[in-house]
Structures are given as structure tokens and as C-alpha cells.
Structure 1
Amino acid sequence: MLETVNKVHDESRQGEAYAPAAEQDMTLAKKFYIESYGCQMNFNDSEIVASILQQEGYGATRNFEEADLVLLNTCSIREKAEQTVRKRLTEFRKFKRDKPGLLVGVLGCMAERLKSKFLDEEKLVDMVVGPDAYRTLPALISEAETGQKSINVLLSREETYADISPVRLDSNGITAFVSIMRGCNNMCSFCVVPFTRGRERSRDPLSIEAEARDLFERGYREVTLLGQNVDSYYYVNDDNTETINFANLLERVALISPLLRVRFSTSHPKDITDEVLHTMAKHENICKYIHLPVQSGSTRILQLMNRTYTREWYIKKVERIREILPECALSTDIIVGFCTETEEDHKDSMDMMEFARYDLAYMFAYSERPGTLAARRYQDDIPEDVKKRRLTEIVTIHRVHSLEAMQRDVGKTLKVLIEGESKRSKDDLFGRTDQNKVVVFPRENYAKGQYVMVKVHDCTAGTLLGTAVEFLG
């Protein structure tokens, strides 16, 4: 059993890293290559970086051997992710010996956490750029081109990149992420995000609406509003005459067009309000899907994690969601083997899985991250074999629930937004339901970007199988 287990849909675009695709001028003289790791915020940041580089005359390439600039946008959430990045940087350093003019840079959370260590101790890169310093990339590149090691990892209380139109990388032309805020004020004891991404800053709602509207007018049919904790979005205009909370923002984006689906991620259980739930119920095009990380089913462990809610409180929140949105799908994050976790604590987590019966779960064994509150306060005292066994037990429970969730849709006719061709057969298309379930069906005369009603006749653990029975436009 791997230390980390991610339950993913069969037809999803997944993977730890990607290189840029075609929404660029490939004739530009200089080329950049970028790989992104970790959360969707990192992938979205890479699209901001691509826009900044495009303005500097760089075009994208999928082949790092063609690149003048290689960037790794990194994640510090788990030790495995950092090890993967170090391995890739070592490979690029070897390649750089045969291409002396090549510049290599590390971006994102690892850059913020490790700072000059990459430059001075490990000598793996030419540039180190934190998440709030991407506007300085042109100056840092110029500095690195002179042979100087360049670094900017300063965090900002204002930067949201609201005026930068992201270049969509590896885009299917149908779905896109729109960042609505940056940073996090929740000091969960296991998490490095407040230290690597700084405090919460909410983006101007007019710029969010403009970006979403532009995407719709260019043919995109789904946007995901993105933030470390979207429910705490709160914007006050300059003259203090208007305040916008997340429910207000969600509605404003939904009103752009009934043909534009709206999703959001991620929610902190303490912040998702009835107002948000009622807004979701009011608008058909706001997807009935909520990612609601529980992290642990034990109140004692939740307190050590500084999650600010109890087991009982979380259960009531799930019940409230299902009261207002009976068909809402739920997904979660859960960590096993956190400091001092007992078998009774672990049983509480398994019981929570049985109660919530999540449609999708991202399940992890605890990995201590340097600099976090947990690393300073607690001992990582659960043996690795115990962590792995507990993770296996959680995964086993979830697989049953996930299959049951898919089986409940067999026989139903569901609205599907077509995202593209199935990976398994060019004769089939795939899309997603409102509840974020992947559906595969015969191509016939349908095309991506269209809405169709699909009659589901079978399923696997990760995919619904059906036949399109009605074209919706």
C-alpha cells in the first residue's frame, strides 16, 4: 500500500505534473517548460506564470530539451512530493551540463519553505520564486542570465494576480479554474500552507466575474472557483460601501449564463454557511458537489489538528447539507496516523466514513512537515506499519462506498457536460455529471462542450457507462 492513496475517476486528467499545451504562440523565439505538482492552486499559478512569461516573449514547449527556461511549480504538503521534485531537479541539472544557457527555477511552496537552500546548499537551480513573487520573474530571469543566483520568496498581504489573465495550460477548452483568493488563515497544525502562501486575500469580484465571463464567451462551459478555503471569501470595496461574501460571489458567477456550470473548491467545514447551501439550491447550474475535508473522525485528534470543530459538529454539518441539498455529492480528505492517534481514534475515523459514505475521498498517512505547528508541538509517534495498516482499512471502507455511489446512478438519466474523447476508445466521449461523476457513452454525433442527457446502464468503481438519449445544447 502506498503511503498516499488518491481515489480518482477513470477518465480524469490526473497526475502529479503537466507540461504546457497549445494556448500559446509557439513561434516565439524563447521557450519555457513547466511542470506542476500538488494542489489545483499550483496548477492555476502555473497558468499565471505562463501569462507573465508570454509577455516576456516566451512560448511554451512540451519538450524540456527545447526549453531555454525550465520551471518546477512545487508542493510541500507531503514529503513524497518534495522527493519527486528533488529527483526531477537532479535530472535537469545533469541535462543542463550539456546546455549551459539553460535556466532552471523552482516555484511555489517548496521555494517558499526551503528558500536559498536550493541555491546555496544543493545548487540545484538558478532561481527560487515564491507564490507571491511571480511578477518579478522577468527581473529574476535577467539576473540569473548574468550568472547570479536569484531569489524572491517574499509573501504579500495584497497580491491576488487579479489583473493577469491566465494562459490555460493543457486545457480541454471546456473546463477551467478561476482563483478567487490566496493564502489561508486556518492554522491547522499539520499544514504548511499558511507559511508558504501567507494570509488570506480575497480577489476583486469584478475581475472574477470578468474572467469567468470571458471563459464562457470563448466556449468554456464550466468554471471552478478556487481557493484554499473559498467559503471564507470576503471582499470589501475601497470606499467600504459594498461587501461580497462567498454566497454573493457564487450567485454572481452563476448568473453569467445558465449554460455555465459553476463548481468550487475547497471548503472548510467551519465556514460553509446555510446561505451558500441555499444559493446552490437556488441555481441549477451550481453543481451539487462539495469537497468537505474531515481530516479525522476523532474529536481528540481534531483538536490536536486545530481544526476548530468536533466530530459531532461535523456530523451536523453533513446532515444540514443533505437537508438543504438532498442530492449533493460529498468528497473529503482524511489523514490516518496523526500524532498520538489510538486505535479508538482510528475507529472514530472509520465510523465517520461509514456515516458520511463519501462519493470521493483523498486518503493519506500522516507525513510530518517541517515548520508546522504539529512538528513543533507533537512527536510523530505512530509506526509506519501501523499507519499503512490503518490507511488500508480506510481505503477498503471507501471503495465500498464509492462503488455504491456509482451503482445508485445505474438506471438514472443524468445531465452530462461533454469534456472530450474517452481515453479508452475514440468511439466514446466522456463528461461529468453535476455530482462530478465521470460518464462514458458512444460518440454518435455529439461533441465536447455540449450538454446531453445520458441514460446510465452500468458502472465501474470510477465511471458511469451509458447512452445519450437527449441533446440539450
Structure 2
Amino acid sequence: MTEPRKLHIKSYGCQMNVYDAQRMVDTLAPEGFVETSRVDDADLVILNTCHIREKASEKVYSELGRLRVAKDAAALTGRQMNIVVAGCVAQAEGNEIIRRAPVVDVVVGPQSYHHLPQLLAQAKAGGRALETEFPILDKFGFLPPPKPAAIRARGISSFVTVQEGCDKFCTFCVVPYTRGSEVSRPVAKIIDDVKRLADNGVREITLIGQNVNGYHGDGPDGRPWALGTLLTRLAEIPGIVRLRYSTSHPRDVEDTLIEAHRDVPAVMPYVHLPVQSGSDRILGLMNRKHTAKDYLEVIERFRGARQDIAFTSDFIVGFPGESEQDFAATLALVTQIGYASAYSFKYSPRPGTPAADLRETVSATVMDERLVRLQQLIDNQQSAFNAAMIGSTVDVLFERAARNPGQIVGRTPWLQPAHVMASDAIIGQVLPVTMTSLERYSLLGNLTKPSLSTPSIAALPSVPSHTTGA
């Protein structure tokens, strides 16, 4: 019997990269690869890279330096280790990686990972392989998916890609250049994926895409379906009890999506809706195509559909030309909305993007100071949101055993970890939990007797708009 080859994959960045990493593992499984958590044991190491974060390419080269040592050590024992750089840094800087890093055998962009077996064969034959061109898509404008058997469940929750690419061209963002134009998968293919996952024990699906609410896949009726229509259909699949989606653009929130939040219990009341800045002037420089007022109106449309809906967002601090007045507008927006959580980052230029040429930069000292103030405000809001859960009875989808013996951990509708003392027989079930305390970001509670009902959505906690902290 042939000894399985071991694969170690390290994924950086967004949920799409996590999903792509899983699909790469699935693609390579028929080639005899099994995952390992140890680099030193691996016959194949894949760095699945992200170009969004600061100094992304430098981090890749630093990691490749460490992998060179591991590859040399493997060679001394007579074992060949292949190294692949995949993802958005590979797409943007493929030729440079080949030039600077002889240790790399294969460079593959995010549109081409399904060709990994062929690329590895090419490298084994004596040539280094590079594939970063945008491929010829199928008749639906999307990459051919892996064979059905390659789609495997990984626990109670799973990602499913429905859309890829972005046409918004925000001036700070590389996604249109590394992921290409917006394309959407046909509804029938998504339904097949979700059914297969449900049959394998998945209970929660998160639909993902660079601009997921720009989804416009061909429906079985011959017409393009919007994201809200797709969510409504997926909620009908037996076994699927929760649906989420990420990441959305404020300009593409259609009425069908609002209606799905209002009418479909499986659609969770938790929306990641990046705004980036509260200043209209900065939003214009970012080419975000919305104003702060537009964003607030979208928030109110969601809240009009569900009173318990909560929001997360992304913010960039120190975008070129950001004044103290502009930053104050961001703090005011955050204070007005009240987020359950949010991500905030210092601006860093991405080569090839229009913002990289802007000269009116903000000093590192000022960016650091502003980031601290913003994160303090966001942290205070998140703490208030979590603390407001104490005393409430909330439905929790249980996912796995926790670190502490006898504890099972699950997620609330708002993605908060919730721990209870119970048998692992509850994994995969949605059960009401009365929250008793909070430890950092995790809730602790007790299973509630089935005869007790959960509160109405009007009674569930929200972040007060007067939260302060800046």
C-alpha cells in the first residue's frame, strides 16, 4: 500500500482564503495527500497568501526563508519537499516570487488552484510552474468546481463560495486585480453543494464572496437570482438551520436581502457591512460609491426588518489626506450605529492601486493614535453588546467539545462563543441557553429546559447608540 503524502497548508487573510485552502486540500486528496499540522513532516507545503494586510509580500518571503531550511533538512534524509505559493500575493507578484525565491516550486493564483495536480507534475518533471493568468471560465462565468466527491464536510459549519471578484475598484484595494471581475455561480450548483454538506452533518452555511451581496447567479427559472432569493431557497434544504454571508458592500443591499432577514428564520441577524470611513470626503477619495448618510440608511433598512439585527464593519485609519475632522466623522458614525464588533486597520499602500499614488499621507504616529482611539470605542461597544446577553435566553448551535472537560461550545446567532456543561450528544443541535456570565469574549450559560421559550426579538440585547469611549 502506498504511503500517503503529507500536506501542510498555511492560510492568511479572509474567509475566502480559508475556503480556498479547504478546496485545495480536497483537490489534492485524490492525489494521495493527507493534511499534517507539522511543516517538518510535510511533502508539500502551501502558503495561501493574502494581499490585503500590511507588508503582505514581505511576510511571504520571510516565511519562505524558514521553509528553505526545512526543505534542505528534508533533502538530507532523502525526502523531497515541494513548496507552493498560492493566493493573492501569488497572483500579484508571481514572476517576482519565481525570481526571488528559488525554493518555490509552484506559484498559483486563486483562480487556478484546481490545476494544482498538473502544476505539481510539471514541477516534478524538472520545471518550476507558474499559473497566475485569469483562466478561461465556464459558460456561467465561473471556475469549474471540484468533483462532487471532493466537497467534504468539516464540522457543523461550512463555507460555500457563491461569488468571486469585485467591480467596485476602491482605490485602496487590490481585489479587482488579483481576483478579477465579479462572477456568480449558478444557483443549481450552490444548492447541490449545500445539500451534500447537509447530508454530511453540516448545519450552518456561510456564503462567501468578495462582494457577496452582488450575487446574480443564474436561477433554475432562467433569470438571475439575487442573494436574498438564494438564501430563501437554501433555507428550504433539510438539515440547514442557519445561514450567513460575507462580505457585503453597502451599495448592493437589495430589497430581497432585507426581506430574507425579515422572513427567513434561518438567516442570522448578523451582518458584516464594511464602511471604511465616516467621512464623505474620504469615502470619495476611496471611491466607495456611498456616503455616510447612504450607509446609515442601509443600516436602518435592516433594522426595520429585524429589531435584533447586529452589525460588524471594517475601518481604515489614516487614509491619505485624512484630517482630524475626517477621523472625528468616523468616530461619530461608530457611536451612532453601535457595532457588535468591527475590524480596524492602519492604511498601507498596495502597489498598483490608485491610492498608492496619493501624496498627502498621514504620519505613522497620528495613525497609531487614531487607531487606538477607534479600537477603544469599538471594544467598548463589543463589551456592552456581549454583557447585555447576560440573563437572556438565546438559541445556540453547538459545534464541538470545549477545552475544559465536560464543556461544549457553540455559537449564538451573533457568532459569540457560548459554553455549557453538557454531553457531546448536543453537538449539531440548536438549543436554548440562559446566559449567566461573560469571560472576555465568551459567554457561559446553562441549557434551558425545552418548555421554556426564548424571548421575542424585541427583547434581545443591542448596542446602545450612546456608547462612548473615544
Shift of 1:140: 1.4
Pairwise CA distance, 1:458 = 1.9
State the Cα RMSD in Å.
2.1
2:167 to 174, 185, 188: 185
Q: Which residue of 2 aligns with 1:396?
A: 376
- 1:159 is aligned with what amino acid? F
SS at match of 2:52: coil
Provide, for residues 64-83 of structure 1, a one-character-per-residue CA deviation record: whole Å limited to 9, x for no partner: 22222111100010224433
1:268 corresponds to 2:249? yes
Whole-angstrom distance in 1 between the partners of 2:348 and 2:402: 35
> Structure 2: how far apart are the matches of 1:454 and 1:417?
10
Query: CA offsets, 1:309-342, max 9 Å, x none?
Result: 0011111111121111110110000110000000
Residue 230 of structure 2 corresponds to residue 249 of structure 1: yes
User: Which residue in 2 is equivalent to 1:159?
Assistant: 142
Question: Aligned residue for 2:356?
Answer: 375
Tell me the amino acid that sits aligned with residue 173 of structure 1.
Answer: G
Corresponding residue number in structure 2 for 1:119: 98
Alpha-carbon displacement from aligned partner over 1:417-440 (angstroms, at most 9, x marks no partner): 0011223x1222211111222212
**What's the counterpart of residue 233 of structure 1?**
215
Pair 1:303 & 2:284 matched: yes
Q: Structure 1's 136 and 258: CA in aligned 2 closer, same or farther, altered over 3 A?
A: closer
Aligned mates of 2:170, 2:110 — CA distance in 1:
20
Q: Map Cα deviations across residues 252-300 of structure 1 (whole Å, 9 max, x no partner).
A: 1111137521111111011012221111211111111100101000000
Does the CA-based 8 Å contact 2:398-2:429 persist in structure 1? yes
The question of whether the paired residues in 2 share the 8 Å contact of 1:127 and 1:150 is answered with yes
Q: Is the 8 A contact 1:51 1:164 kept in 2?
A: no
TM-score, normalisation: structure 1: 0.89
Deviations along 1:61-104, one digit per CA (max 9) or x if unpaired, are 22222222111100010224433322221111111122232111
**Native 8 Å contact 1:37 1:81 kept in 2:** no
Shift of 1:468: 0.7
Which is further off, 156-165 or 409-418? 156-165
| Partner in structure 1 of residue 195 of structure 2 | 213
Higher relative contact order (CA 8 A, sep 6+): 1
Matches within 5 A, 1:297-446: 297-376=278-357, 378-379=358-359, 381-423=361-403, 425-444=404-423, 446=425
Deviation digits for residues 163-193 of structure 1 (CA, Å, limit 9, x no counterpart): 4448679x75101001111111110111111
Q: Does structure 2 conserve the Cα–Cα contact (< 8 Å) formed by 1:36 and 1:72?
A: yes
Unaligned runs of 5+ in 1: 1-25
Cα distance in 2 for partners of 1:380, 1:71 equals 38
CA distance in 1, matches of 2:383, 2:149: 37
| 1:380 to partner: Cα distance | 6.0
Q: Map 1:66-215; keep pairs closer than 5 Å.
A: 66-100=41-75, 101-156=80-135, 157=137, 158-165=141-148, 173-215=155-197
Aligned residues of 1:30 and 1:59 also touching (Cα < 8 A): yes
2 CA distance for matches of 1:306 and 1:321? 24
Q: Which moved more, 1:122-131 or 1:412-421?
A: 122-131
Judge conservation of contact 1:336–1:366 (CA < 8 Å) in 2: yes
1:19 aligned residue:
none
Moved more, 292-301 or 140-149: 140-149
| Alpha-carbon spacing, 1:162–1:353, altered in 2? closer, same or farther (3 Å) | same
Q: For residues 96 and 366 of structure 2, what CA distance do their matches in structure 1 show?
A: 33
Show CA shifts across 1:25-60 (max 9, x none). x97532222111110101111111112211222222
Shift of 1:409: 1.5
User: Letter of the aligned partner of 1:267 in structure 2?
Assistant: S
User: Aligned to 2:7, what secondary structure does the other structure show?
Assistant: strand
How far apart, CA to CA, are the structure 2 residues paired with 1:144 and 1:330?
46
Quickly say closer, same or farther: Cα 1:168–1:462, change in 2 above 3 A.
Answer: farther
Q: Which residue of 410, 429, 433 corresponds with 1:454?
A: 433
- Residues 261 and 305 in structure 2, CA contact (< 8 A), matched pair in contact too: no
User: Mean Cα displacement is larger for which, 385-394 or 457-466?
Assistant: 457-466
Pick which of 58-67 and 204-213 moved more.
58-67
Deviation at 1:241, TM superposition (A): 3.0
Q: Deviations over 1:101-149 (max 9, x none)?
A: 2111100101001111111133241111011112322221112113312
Shift of 1:225: 0.5
Aligned residues: 443
The AA in structure 2 aligned to 1:250 is L
Q: 2:90, 2:240 → 1: CA distance? A: 39
Separation in 1 of the partners of 2:6 and 2:424? Answer: 38
Q: Is the 8 A contact 2:114 2:146 kept in 1?
A: no
> Which 5+ residue runs of structure 2 have no aligned equivalent?
452-470
State the identity as a percent.
Answer: 34
Which residue identity lines up with residue 47 of structure 2 in the other structure? L
Q: 1:168 to 1:395 in 2, by over 3 A?
A: farther
Identify the range of structure 1 (47-56 vs 323-332) with the bigger mean alpha-carbon deviation: 47-56
Q: Which of 58, 64, 71 is the aligned partner of 2:33?
A: 58
AA paired with 1:42? N
- C-alpha separation between the residues in 1 aligned to 2:3 and 2:226? 41
Paired letter, 2:143: T
Distance (whole Å) between structure 2 residues aligned to residue 189 and residue 348 of structure 1:
20
Find the residue that maps to 1:290 and give its secondary structure: strand
For residues 223-271 of structure 1, the C-alpha deviation after alignment (integer angstroms, 9 at most, x for no partner) is 1011111111002369x83321211111111111375211111110110
Query: Which stretch has the larger CA shift, 308-317 or 428-437?
Result: 428-437
Give the 3-state SS of the residue equivalent to 2:97 in structure 1: helix
How far apart in 1 are the matches of 2:424 and 2:231? 33
In 2, are the aligned partners of 1:172 and 1:419 still within 8 Å (CA)? no
Is the alpha carbon distance of 1:52 and 1:261 closer, same or farther for their aligned partners in structure 2, counting shifts above 3 Å?
Answer: same
